[in-house]
Amino acid sequence: MPRLSCLLLLLLTGLAGTAHAGSQKVLLFGIDGLQAEALERLVPPHLEALRQRGVYSGQSWAPDHSLSGPGWATLLTGTERDRHGVQDNEFGGRDFIYAPHVLTLIERQKPGLVTAYAYNWGPLYQIFQPMADLQYSGPAGDDARLIDQAATWLRQRDDLDVLSTYLYNLDETGHRHGFGADVPEYRDQLLRADAALGRLLAAIEARPQRARENWLILVVTDHGGSGTQHGENRPEHRRVPLILAADRLPPQSGAFLPLGLRQVDIVPTLLQHLGLPVHGLDGRPWQARPYRFRTGQNLLANPDARYGVPHTDPNYDPDIPGWHKGGRQTVMTAASLGVAPPRTSPLFTGLGTGSLTQRIPLPAQAAGRPFHLQGWLGSSALAQHNLQLHLRFRGRLPRAALEDAQGASHFFRGDQVERFDYQSDRVSPDYPQRIADAWPGLERFTGGARDLDAAFSTGRDRAYFFKGNQVIRYDLQQKRADPDYPRPVTRSFPGLERFRGGPVPLDAALAINDQEACFFRGSQFIRYDLVQRRPLPGYPQEISALTWPGLEVWPQGIDAAVRRDQDTAYLFNGHEYLRFSLKRHSADNASPRPLDTSSWVGLQQFSQPFLGTALLTRAEQDGQLHLRQLQGHIPAGSDAAEIELRFIHNGSGGFPFATDLEFRVE
């Protein structure tokens, strides 16, 4: 053989080896209708293994029209609903010319890569019409045959670079039997989907060149569900789990990630892994950015609405990166709002009364340090919308409230209790008192009669007090704790372990009537049958405008609740309260009110520290931005700072808006 031919052969052999070494591969594993609650409670083995060795995003939200069409369009194009145009499963208004399928993007940018899809829902191949080298369009519902084909490609095609798969049956099972871990059929189907994933992962591990390949595994879904339905703009339908795992990504399990993985980030992340350019998309390639406390720097994630894209449709209620949404908000530009604020950055915009909230972890050494919070706030001219910045410092400072049969409520905080008399509209004389003195028997709690988490009463006879993992049943007539208490909470109230993160500590408890109560923990609540001693079907649910109208301004939860009478309850969060009609099941006041001496005379011990900026004056409701600032020192015992941007929309034209928020600890 001529010397030149030998050299060429050696060069080609070397290049082939280099191509395999570090070869970038992708598995995009789609499960239709994967409910986040079910995934987190059931802990399927293969999905859980990926969660533990990679990244889990449990707070990503699907499009506000939480149907399969908009969900898969967002996932597979990397664009938002107002751009890809898909609003329902009919796919009317779609624009896949300017928002093409990810496999089409890959084929256009690097046709040498070998791509494949295995789909068994017609629109994914008939309407999206993805370009791919290998195609499987299986009959709807036959997930097993689809997985057989996908596993065969993985085993036999050493040149396969990108495989996109889709499972149909979990969503179909949800529609037939119900979405949720407590529905046997849904649970079994989810475990089948997990086993299917396990087959594909095993096929990847068995590939001859596996040691030289760098696999990115993405597990995605289009929407959640409740009952047998989805499609509403509510957390149970919009909250979606996303999993990302890669050979060279350090595990992020347990890390606090201010900017989580979103549906719209899937395509850019995939393209970047393949070394392809990312441009013209609404999402961003995901990067591990674990939270680190730093003094002198802005600790807010996405403080100026630049992480994401501005929208022109005021009816679109998108996911806003870094922020927990309470109610409806979007991100828009000044031009699209028809205002002229002296800033060029996008604007957080309130579509109704509600809030955007972030909780920032604080280390112990932050106590006593000075802080500075500021933001630029404004409202459309000739409109009377308003907004505020609120700051609450969170820590282990539980409080509880309990109604009695004499027209009063008892408020517990620390080792003190106050009795508020609704007839005189003030705290009763001789209060506050020590809990141990006023409520004998509560000293049986571990740690004594202090720091109660929640309480409620049933009629005139019985009350329940909660502290940590213990509960005490109390005889109101005899004024004493019942024998054999305290008991474990889950023994007395089985089913509360359904709460995300476990059954305790509870944040609040509220008696709806003598047969039913509500328990609150974090952003969730459980309606509970006190007679049958079990949660009502379909719970827990998320606090939202649909489940607790008016309470959506506090989507991350409340810290106390009490029933005044058969119709009225009071719900508390930090320094504020809402009066709630149990008969109409709606808040009596449009927005929370301060817990102060004019509304709750003498209730000193129960209130919690709070800072808030002044509302915009009438002269400041002029279409411009106005600086608002708060300063002070971080209280001892604070483990988080909760920054809330409160929008107050009065229902007229225009919007309240804000940008350039900043929270620093010096």
HEC secondary structure over 171-198: HHHHHHHCCCCCCHHHHHHHHHHHHHHH
pLDDT score for 11: 26
ω into 540 cis (within 30 of 0): yes
Pairing of strands 114-119, 134-137: parallel
> If you compute the radius of gyration of the chain from its CA atoms, what whole number of angstroms results?
27
Strands (E), 496-553: 508-511, 516-521, 524-529, 534-535, 541-542
Span 420-441, average pLDDT = 95
pTM: 0.92
Q: Is pLDDT at 337 greater than 90 in this prediction? A: no
Task: Tell me the pLDDT band of 336, cut-offs 50, 70 and 90.
Answer: confident
Q: Is pLDDT at 628 greater than 70 in this prediction? A: yes
pLDDT in tens, 486-509: 999 999 999 999 999 899 999 999
245-254, 277-286, 583-592, range with greatest mean pLDDT? 277-286
Q: Is pLDDT at 417 greater than 90 in this prediction? A: yes
**What percentage of the chain exceeds 70 in pLDDT?**
96
Strands (E), 141-251: 160-167, 213-220, 239-246
Q: Is 106:276 a contact under the CB 8 Å cutoff?
A: yes
Q: Is pLDDT at 2 greater than 70 in this prediction? A: no
Tokens of 572: 């508390």
Residue 652's Cβ-count burial label (10 Å; 0-12, 13-18, 19+) is exposed
Residue-range domain boundaries for the chain:
20-273, 324-394+612-665, 398-593
Tokens of 482: 């019942």
CATH class, range 398-593: mainly beta
Q: Is pLDDT at 218 greater than 60 in this prediction? A: yes
Q: Is pLDDT at 609 greater than 80 in this prediction? A: no
Q: Is 360:641 a contact under the CB 8 Å cutoff?
A: yes
Task: Tell me the pLDDT band of 342, cut-offs 50, 70 and 90.
Answer: low
pLDDT in tens, 290-312: 899 999 999 999 999 999 899 98
Span 275-284, average pLDDT = 95
Just give the CATH number of 324-394+612-665.
Answer: 2.60.120.260
Residue 521 phi/psi, 5-degree rounding, is -150, 120
Span 481-489, average pLDDT = 97
Tell me what the pLDDT averaged over the chain comes to. 92
**What percentage of the chain exceeds 90 in pLDDT?**
82
- Residues 6+ away with beta carbon under 8 Å from 48: none
Of 57-61, 208-212, 495-499, minimum mean pLDDT range: 57-61
Distance CA 70, CA 287 (A): 25
Distance CA 663, CA 135 (A): 51
Residue 647's Cβ-count burial label (10 Å; 0-12, 13-18, 19+) is buried
pLDDT score for 16: 30
pLDDT in tens, 383-394: 889 999 999 998
pLDDT score for 8: 28
Residue 215 phi/psi, 5-degree rounding, is -90, 135
Distance CA 107, CA 112 (A): 8
Number of H-type helices and E-type strands within the chain = 15, 37
Q: For residues 40 and 22, which has the higher predicted lDDT (pLDDT)?
A: 40
Beta bridge mates, 57: 242
Count of other CB atoms within 10 angstroms of residue 19: 12
Which runs of consecutive H residues, i.e. helices, occur in 443-531? 489-492
Q: Is pLDDT at 650 greater than 70 in this prediction? A: yes
Fold exhibited by the domain 20-273? Alkaline Phosphatase, subunit A (3.40.720)
